[in-house]
Structures are given as C-alpha cells and as structure tokens.
C-alpha cells in the first residue's frame, strides 16, 4: 500500500507512523508544505493519505497561502475515496472539508491526558483492538465539531471531540499518537514551552517529561489503526 504524507512543519514528521510503514514495506512519499513551491501528487500515485499536525490554524490562509491548495487537494482525495488518516491540524482540516466547524477549544490542551473512546466507535473496523481509554499526547488550541454523518471517536476532560471516523476508511484524531520522545522534546522547544506555567489542561515541560514513556500508548493505538487501514485497503483490492 502506497502512502503519501502532508507535512506542515519540519519537526512534526510522521514519527511512529513512518517507522511502522517502513517496517511493513509500505512506501511513503511527502509533500512538505514548509518548503518553497510544494507539489501535490496525482491521486493515482498513492493509496493512503497521512495528514500531520502543525502550529498554524486552518483559518490562516493569508499567512500560509498553501492552505488553499492543500484544502482543495484534500477534498479531491476524499471524492476519490482515498483512505485517510489525519492528526491534530490534519484532523481539523479533514473536519472542515467534511462540513464540520473548526474553532478555539475552550482551553488549550497540552500534555498527556486521558481520552475515553466511545463504545460505539470501538465497534468500527478501523478501531478494532483499541482499549476503552488511553493517556496520550495533546498539543492544540483549536478543536472541531464532528462532521455530519461521522462517528465521534472519543473525548477527554479538556476536549469534547478527540476524533471522528467518516465512512469506512477516513479517520481524524485530535491527539498525537505519532510522536516519539525526541519529537516531544522538539515540540517543547519549538513552542517555547520550557517556562510555561501549569493550567487546568496544560502540563509544564517537567510534567510532560515525567510522562514521556507514555508515547508508547499512542504508538500502540497508531500501529493498530494502521494495521486496520491496510487490512481495509487489501480487502477493497480483492473485491
């Protein structure tokens, strides 16, 4: 299965997703939107689309004009029925493309917080093998409403919509299951979080570091999800 990745920032790469795809023989190509003149692939050139996070908002088209082209490309991929996994900013872009609303979350959500997954969502084939809850990494200021016709994946104390599944093979996750420990350290530095004070749903840099080993929980969720997405692709190919 050939995958293509939309990457918005140099330090927010595919992390554990790239590791799993490489280990299982799935090619991964990139559109790096932070580089000059980013080029999007032809739809026939990939089977699965991975859309990553970023510090910008879906509404920042004036500051980041490539958002306009990215949104058009995403809508085309959805119309073509491409299997899609979108994370954080990617999930917000996906929600907007499907008719949801992206707006400020009531409070920032930064650090390792528990997501409780919907019992109904856990019956979906893409989430087969997921637990009832997991403490995973969050780093966002915005949120989205679940798009019409989509199924909410779960919620945390700080965010009502932690993800959604749309149809058989499209999923957006507000949290970050792809991040490695090194990527979290880079994010702390990039966001200037070293001196940040604790808030209701914001952990300090020291608190985040004390929980860094929890990235394995997100990694397990991601690997299970990728297995399910590949199985879906294989079943569609046979059909």
Name the residues annotated as catalytic.
88, 176, 178
Residues in a beta bridge with 171:
85, 165
Distance CA 66, CA 72 (A): 10
Taking the CA of residue 98 as centre, how many other CA atoms within 13 Å lie in the half-sphere pointing to its CB? 26
Looking only at the bridges linking them, the beta strands covering 163-166 and 170-173 are: antiparallel
The three-class DSSP label of residue 176 is: strand
Q: Which helix (H) or strand (E) holds 103?
A: strand 102-117
Q: How far apart are CA 68 and CA 73, in angstroms?
A: 9
Answer whether 50's CB lies under 8 Å from 4's CB: yes
């Amino acid at each position: 299965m050939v995958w293509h990745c939309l990457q918005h920032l140099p330090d927010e790469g595919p992390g554990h997703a790239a590791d799993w795809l490489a280990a299982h023989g799935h090619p991964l190509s990139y559109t790096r939107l932070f580089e000059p003149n980013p080029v999007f692939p032809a739809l026939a050139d990939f089977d699965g689309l991975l859309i990553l996070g970023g510090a910008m908002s879906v509404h920042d088209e004036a500051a980041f004009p490539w958002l306009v082209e990215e949104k058009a490309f995403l809508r085309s991929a959805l119309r073509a029925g491409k299997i899609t996994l979108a994370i954080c900013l990617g999930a917000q872009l996906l929600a907007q493309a499907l008719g949801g609303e992206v707006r400020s979350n009531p409070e920032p959500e930064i650090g390792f917080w528990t997501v409780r997954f919907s019992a109904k969502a856990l019956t979906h084939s893409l989430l087969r093998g997921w637990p009832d809850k997991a403490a995973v990494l969050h780093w966002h200021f915005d949120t989205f409403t679940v798009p019409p016709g989509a199924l909410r994946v779960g919620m945390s104390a700080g965010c009502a919509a932690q993800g959604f599944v749309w149809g058989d093979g499209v999923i957006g996750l507000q949290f970050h299951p792809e991040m490695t420990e090194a990527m979290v350290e880079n994010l702390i530095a990039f966001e200037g979080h070293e001196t940040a004070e604790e808030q209701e749903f914001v952990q300090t840099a020291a608190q985040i570091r004390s929980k860094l080993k929890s990235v394995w929980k997100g990694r397990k969720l991601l690997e299970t999800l990728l297995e399910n997405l590949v199985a879906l692709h294989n079943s569609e190919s046979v059909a």
